[in-house]
Amino acid sequence: MRTRRSLVALAALLMAACAPAPRAPLTSLDALGRDEVVLVGKVELVPPLRKGEQKIRGMVVGKIENTMHLMMDEKLRPMPEDPRIADFAGRIEAPIGETFFVRGKAAPSYLLGGLLFLDIGGSSQQRAIFPGGFQVGAKPGDRAIYIGTLRYQRDEFWEVQRVTVVDEYGKASAEYEAKFGKAQPLRKALMARVKQ
């Protein structure tokens, strides 16, 4: 059992070290490539994350605290129940309750679902999985799109009761302009649910 435990710990370290990078947050539109777009959106939890609901112990790699990992892919597929390292590629690390500004391809993509670490760093890893199945409707020529607020209503057992895309364009647009100026307009393109 000791050998097994060591291997598990090693595997966890390797996973942390090998986890692909998330989408980079953007600070300037000048940093965008020709075929890239800035995605503007937000994730909300209702009720919000309470103190003590997320337990992070020791050193962890990446943003974990109060962060929803939104799994993205160019092709629509079901959100994996047990995501592998490759599934984290191109994820959006969305600070819950705050507007995110991340880089993406100026082409349609899909939000497969979300993952929130509830307990990490100890002898066990606990996480909650959130449903997705939304298309992000970026298109060639876009420089900035607003995809909406993804609102997850959940109960005390982390069962997701309802998922809605809320239009908070006015507020997000004001944040966008404060950050990037008015040179490139923010196009509203709310995430759309697609049949799987």
What's the chain's length in residues?
Answer: 196
Q: Which of 128, 145, 147, 191 binds other proteins (CB under 8 A)?
A: 128
The residue among 101, 97, 92 whose CA lies nearest residue 181 is: 101
Q: Which of 75, 141, 155, 162 binds other proteins (CB under 8 A)?
A: 155
156 lines the binding site for other proteins (CB under 8 A): yes
195 lines the binding site for other proteins (CB under 8 A): no
Least distance from other proteins to the Cβ atom of residue 40, Å: 28
11 lines the binding site for other proteins (CB under 8 A): yes
61 lines the binding site for other proteins (CB under 8 A): no
Burial (CB < 10 A; 0-12, 13-18, 19+), residue 165, is middle
Least distance from other proteins to the Cβ atom of residue 31, Å: 37
Burial (CB < 10 A; 0-12, 13-18, 19+), residue 3, is exposed
Q: Which of 17, 33, 75, 159 binds other proteins (CB under 8 A)?
A: 159
Q: How far apart are CA 96 and CA 151, in angstroms?
A: 10
In the complex with other proteins, the residue whose CB is nearer, 30 or 156, is: 156
Contact between 185 and 107 under an 8 Å Cβ cutoff? The reply is: no
Cα 173 to Cα 35, 46, 145, 168: the distances in Å are 22, 23, 10, 8
Please count the residues of this chain forming the interface with other proteins, following the rule CB under 8 A: 26
Task: List residues binding other proteins (CB under 8 A).
Answer: 1-2, 4-5, 7-8, 10-11, 14, 50-52, 118-119, 123-129, 155-159
